[in-house]
Copies of this chain bind each other. A is one copy, B any other.
Amino acid sequence: MEFDFFKTFSINLDLAVEAREVVRGKTGQEIPGAQVSTEKYDQAEVTIVHIMDEKAATIMGKPIGKYITIEAPAIRENNGRAHKDITEVLSQQLTKLFKISMESNVLVVGLGNWNATPDALGPKVVEQTLVTRHLFNYAPQELQGGMRPVSALAPGVLGTTGIETAEIIKGAVDRIKPDLVIAIDSLAARNVTRIATTIQMADTGVNPGSGIGNQRMGINQETLGCPVIAIGVPTVVNAAFICKDALDSYLKQTGNYVTQQEQMDPNVKQAIENVLNPFGGDLTVTPKEVDILIDTTAQIVSGGISMSLHPGISSEDYAFYLH
């Protein structure tokens, strides 16, 4: 299998903020049909990109919907207090994306491969999710105060199960009929600085071609029949982008960089292909300490989800509900 250059560089970017950067880099102006606002917190900067019409969706290469991006470099630091702050920001922002009653059933889905660290975010979040759906049948009324019925599933990946992930989820959704699905996935970023510093939440669900595992079937309202919020964290960058960046940097230094080009320089294209062909383009770049970064982000994401879904649990106590 050869590296498919065209596919790698033409795929829609997982992060809306990166898509926006690319578009603005090319056009030098904000995208019509897309509203952008920002909020600042001690440990996080929040950017809300609202893609409002089909035209903006086409330009951005992403479906119509709301994309909330939390940029928080402190995730990479060994700083528990900062992580707590970021968890609370995530919880508040996530709450803005859904409108369901306290009785509504929620299904949390952890996409990705348990056995490959950079792809393990989804399953790790599921493992730490406060699952309560089964308690609602048995538990005394008072235990349920401030909690919603939540179930959780880590369906694995095609290579391990032999089953398209979306099929397993669709099957479960057809049976348990949740009012909301929250799907967590590892993303591929365009830029290494995004790895484990950026968290994206979107009310668009997970769409074909996105995530590390590159879903082939969407996990969204259209396929599942209920609202789907996607939470993604970049954990890798495709090796092609690193090569491209190194080549661009070289060309800039030597004064040969051509901006605004419509097509990539064929020599640049060929150089990247030469390097990546042996693994068919499936080479990813990760920081060495990816295991720690995944652990921290899984804790922040699962914590934010639990606080958002179970408002009865205080931010002091919720950590004791996770494992």
Contact = CB atoms under 8 A, between A and B. Distances in A.
Interface of A: 78, 80-81, 83-84, 87, 113, 115-119, 131-135, 143, 149-154, 156, 158-163, 167-168, 170-176, 192-193, 195, 212, 239, 242-243, 245-247, 249-250, 253-254, 267-268, 270-272, 274-276, 278-279, 282-292, 295-296, 299, 313, 316-321, 323
Contact of A153 (B163, B316, B321): B163
B250 A268 contact: yes
Given A174-B174, A250-B268, 17 more contacts: A78-B135, A116-B117, A116-B290, A116-B291, A131-B162, A132-B162, A133-B163, A150-B162, A152-B161, A153-B161, A154-B156, A167-B175, A239-B285, A242-B285, A284-B286, A299-B323, A319-B320
A133 B317 CA distance: 28
A320 B149 contact: no
Contact of A313 (B80, B118, B285): B80
10 contacts: A132-B162, A134-B163, A151-B162, A163-B176, A192-B278, A192-B279, A212-B288, A247-B247, A249-B270, A295-B323
Q: How many copies does the complex hold?
A: 4
B320 A83 contact: yes
A275 B246 contact: yes
Nearest to A128: B323
A48 to B, nearest CB: 25
Nearest to A105: B162
Nearest to A314: B81
Nearest to A241: B275
Contacts of A283: 192, 242, 285-288
Contacts of A247: 246-247, 250, 271
Q: Please give me the 6 A-B residue pairs with the lowest Cβ-Cβ distance, nearest first.
A: A171-B171, A319-B319, A133-B162, A151-B162, A80-B320, A243-B246
B134 A153 contact: no
Contacts of A80: 313, 317-321
A112 to B, nearest CB: 11
Contacts of A267: 250, 253-254
Nearest to A195: B279
Nearest to A252: B271
Contact of A171 (B133, B172, B319): B172
B168 A172 contact: yes
Contacts of A115: 117, 291, 295
Contacts of A131: 159-162
Contacts of A143: 78
A288 B186 CA distance: 13
Contacts of A319: 80, 319-320
Contacts of A168: 153, 168, 171-172, 175
A210 to B, nearest CB: 15
Contacts of A81: 317, 320
Nearest to A115: B291
Contacts of A159: 131, 134, 289, 292
A288 to B, nearest CB: 4
